[in-house]
Amino acid sequence: MQRIQESMVRVVGLRKTFGRRTVLHDVNFEFSAGKIVGLVGPNGAGKTTIMKALLGLLATDAGNIRILSQPVSVTTHTVVTQQVGALIERPAIYPFLSGWQHLQLITNSVVQMKWVVQAFQMENYIHRPAKRYSLGMKQKLGIAMALVNRPRLVILDEPMNGLDPQSVKRLRHLIVQLARKGTTFLISSHILSELEKIIDTVILIDQGQVLLQRTMAQFQESARQSLMIRTMENARGLRVLLRADYPVVQRGSDLIVNKPVALTPLLHTLLDAHIQILKVNQYQEDLETVLLRLLAERKA
């Protein structure tokens, strides 16, 4: 972990039990300011619970949470009240207030309110009472409420819930923009493809434990690469490649090489055996596949 940058969030030995069930076991992670961190894991993994603990909404059984080096607990979380914006589970909305009035509850700055309304293109309905909002409109308002104060840390729990593709794209864009200016994001989601494009770091949790924390760069390295080759004579091609010690299998009408290999020698091997090549494709596992594989490997 880089020590030069300011540590935004530091969680050490966090444990939480509900009755006799332990839902968080010894959770540890840390990330620095200006990062976009994805908190991913299957349903019931403990994402929301971790976020609530970070906000001082939940009494924990053990462990230490610090945001900007200041302690966070149910009774002491001044740093949360001043530096953090959050959307947890579902947006906190009073049906009798308009969207604009919700923003007024959080900030006095009309400039910031206008900015956030524009950023989410809510101009058309922001003055309508929230009881007449659709699911996605409420969700946008919830995110807007987390951002309107321009907090240093923004915690978003499943922010893409109910948003249409354009809105998701706009949200992603906004998050990246704000992160460039120094805002730190902790975002949970199980729609990984939506997070993949913007996050710097992934924290994978399952059954209340942190399985791994990696930067996207590290992920790219560990992502498996595979090569797909289609030839006129797959059966002979398979024999030739196996003889040359390539880790190859036949799948349907394709030959698959499951290791990163140099392409030219491999093609030479085939061509030297007078096998005609129809198609070559290179695949890299995406984040989702890697994570699912890691989860599956853990279960096994």
Q: Which two tokens stand for residue 185?
A: 């994001």
Q: Which two tokens stand for residue 86?
A: 């959050």
Check binding of 20 to other proteins (CB under 8 A): no
Window of 30-38, 75-83, 169-177, 201-209 that interacts with other proteins by CB under 8 A: 75-83
Window of 82-90, 173-181, 258-266, 271-279 that interacts with other proteins by CB under 8 A: 82-90
Q: Is 41 left (phi over 0), alpha (psi -120 to 50) or beta?
A: left
Among 8, 84, 122, 241, binds other proteins (CB under 8 A): 84
Q: Give the separation between CA 104 and CA 47, rounded to whole angstroms.
A: 29
- Choose from ligand ATP, other proteins, Mg ion, none: what does 97 bind? Cβ within 5-8 Å by kind: other proteins
Q: Which two tokens stand for residue 15?
A: 């444990």
Nearest to 254 by CA among 226, 229, 273: 229
Check binding of 95 to other proteins (CB under 8 A): yes
* Cβ 16 to ligand ATP shortest distance, Å: 8
Check binding of 70 to Mg ion (CB under 5 A): no
- Choose from ligand ATP, other proteins, Mg ion, none: what does 101 bind? Cβ within 5-8 Å by kind: other proteins
Among 7, 48, 64, 73, binds Mg ion (CB under 5 A): 48
Q: Give the separation between CA 28 and CA 49, rounded to whole angstroms.
A: 14
Among 15, 25, 66, 90, binds other proteins (CB under 8 A): 90
Check binding of 231 to ligand ATP (CB under 6 A): no
CB 5 within 8 A of CB 33: yes
Report CA 11 to chain centroid distance, whole Å: 18
Q: Which helix (H) or strand (E) holds 178?
A: helix 165-180
* Cβ 88 to Mg ion shortest distance, Å: 8
Q: Give the separation between CA 163 and CA 171, rounded to whole angstroms.
A: 9
- For 252-297, the DSSP string reads TTEEEE-S---HHHHHHHHHHTTPPEEEEEEEE--HHHHHHHHHHH
Among 40, 45, 145, 210, binds other proteins (CB under 8 A): 145
Return residues touching Mg ion (CB under 5 A). 48
Q: Which residues bind ligand ATP (CB under 6 A)?
A: 18, 23, 41, 43-49, 190
Footprint of other proteins (CB under 8 A): 52, 55-58, 74-78, 80-81, 84, 86, 88-97, 101, 104-105, 145
